[in-house]
Every structure is written in C-alpha cells, then in structure tokens.
Amino acid sequence: MDFFETVKRRRSVRRYTQEPVPSTVIETALDAALLAPNSSNLQTWEFYWVQSPDKKAALVKSCLNQGAARTAQELIVVVSNPNLYKKTAPELLKRLNSPNAPKEIGFYYGKLVPVLYGWTILAPVKWLIFNLVGLFRPIMRRPWSSRDIDEVCIKSAALASENFMLAVAAQGYDSCPMEGFDECRVKRILRLGYRHRVVMVISVGRRDPKGIWGEQLRFSKDWFVKRI
C-alpha cells in the first residue's frame, strides 16, 4: 500500500468485527515498531502482546470496557522502561564501531547515559550544573529528573506505536490507540515495576462499519503550522 494512502487509511476504530487477525500481521507490525526512531537509540520500550484469555479479559476491564478494547481481536500494551538503558547502552558501545561514529561515542554511552538515566538521586545537582552551563552556552537543560527520563522514554515509545499502527493499516487491518485505562491495574496484570509507564494500549482488528463515526475531522492547517 502506498505510504500516504496508508496514513490516510489509518483511523482510530472503536468497534471491530469478529474476523481473526493473522499472527503474521501482528509480528510484522511489531517488527516495524522496533525500527522506529528513538532517543539515543537506547530503545527503552516494551510491547506486551496479551494472548492469555484471562489476562485479555482483565485488560479489557482495565480499559474501562470500552468498545475498542472489548471487540478487539488483539491487544498490545506499549510500555516505556527507562531501566533498559542498562542493557542497551553497553551493547551499543560494543556494536558502534563504524568509522562514521563520532569519537565521543564511548564517553556518551559509557559515562553520560548512566549519569542521566541512573543517578536520579542527584537530580537537583544535575539541574544546577545544566543551568549554570546554560548561562554561557547553549545546552540541553534536560533530562535531569526521573520525570524527565520518563518523558524521553514515553516519546520514543509513542514513535514506535505510530510505526506499529501504520504497519497494521498497510496490511489492511485497523487499530485504536487507547489512553483510557487504569494504569495501576494494567501494571498489575503485566507485573510491571515502578519505573515502567504504560504509554498506550493498542487494539487491533478488522473495522466494523459502525467502528468509524464519520469522516476524519481535522481543522485548518493554519491553526497548527507556523511559518516564522
């Protein structure tokens, strides 16, 4: 399917038919999700394909029993996990041996990333250092706190989610990204830790004609695109 046709086809579907979704569709979409751009290539995301009938029923309930979850054939929970840097940063150090890689790569992944992602107890100190340096030259003012790190990882997981949904659409199926859920209950179902954040739950299926409420509503481009 043409890329722009795929983008236009993708809609947030609120009700699905009972047609099963081939597992290859989900696998292909997950492969596409893992190719998404992400912060420092640390890949701090996890995708939980909920297949157990009991867990799926509990997840639907935790998604407030909304139609997009209740009628879905498949449910994917997209999660950010900042602690994955402990696994991915050392691997990146091993594999980034290309002549195109900057010489500072060792310092960045070996020293700076562990400080930014791991030493959250020193958040006030990091804030002070960043802002003092910022008085004299441009510098990234964040991340310095756990909340900042969560935000970075959530952005990466959201980018991957878009890849996933476009890949589903390109194969002729439909999806809906849901933010209406009880995160505490979802985390208990998946046995997630404190640092995990549930970014969204994505339902997948074949759209029911009543699953789309009408034409896609978008407002004037001038409201959102600023040329300065």
Per-residue pLDDT of 175-193, as tens digits, reads 999 999 999 999 999 999 9
Residue among 5, 47, 26, 7 at smallest CA distance from 166: 7
Q: What whole-number distance in Å separates Cα of residue 183 and Cα of residue 148?
A: 19
Q: Which has more confidence, 128 or 48? A: 48
Q: Which CATH superfamily is domain 1-210 in?
A: NADH Oxidase (3.40.109.10)
- Is the sign of the CA dihedral 162, 168, 174, 179 positive or negative? negative
pTM for the model stands at 0.93
Per-residue pLDDT of 62-112, as tens digits, reads 999 999 999 999 999 999 999 999 999 999 988 887 777 778 888 899 998
What are the residue ranges spanned by the domains of the chain?
A: 1-210
The predicted structure's pLDDT at residue 47: 98
The predicted structure's pLDDT at residue 20: 98
Q: What whole-number distance in Å separates Cα of residue 199 and Cα of residue 178?
A: 9
Confidence of residue 53 (pLDDT cuts 50, 70, 90): very high
Q: What whole-number distance in Å separates Cα of residue 155 and Cα of residue 140?
A: 16
Instruction: Give me the chain's average pLDDT, please.
Output: 94
The predicted structure's pLDDT at residue 101: 77
- Is the sign of the CA dihedral 34, 199, 46, 109 positive or negative? positive
For tokens 């004299």, name the residue: 136
The predicted structure's pLDDT at residue 203: 98
Confidence of residue 212 (pLDDT cuts 50, 70, 90): very high
Q: What whole-number distance in Å separates Cα of residue 160 and Cα of residue 165?
A: 9
Per-residue pLDDT of 139-175, as tens digits, reads 888 888 899 999 999 999 999 999 999 999 999 999 9
pLDDT, mean of residues 194-210? 97
Apex 28 CA angle, 25 and 29, nearest 5: 85
| Beta carbons within 8 Å of 210's beta carbon, 6+ residues apart | 15
Q: Which has more confidence, 148 or 119? A: 148
Confidence of residue 1 (pLDDT cuts 50, 70, 90): low
Q: DSSP string covering the chain, please?
A: --HHHHHHH--B-S-B-SPPPPHHHHHHHHHHHTTS--GGG---EEEEEE--HHHHHHHHHHTTT-HHHHT-SEEEEEEE-GGGHHHHHHHHHHH---TTS-TTHHHIIIIIHHHHHH-GGGHHHHHHHHHHHHTTS-------SHHHHHHHHHHHHHHHHHHHHHHHHHTT-EEEEE--S-HHHHHHHHT--TT-EEEEEEEEEPBPGGGS-SSPP---HHHH----
Does residue 198 surpass a pLDDT of 80?
yes
Beta bridge partners, 177, equal 202
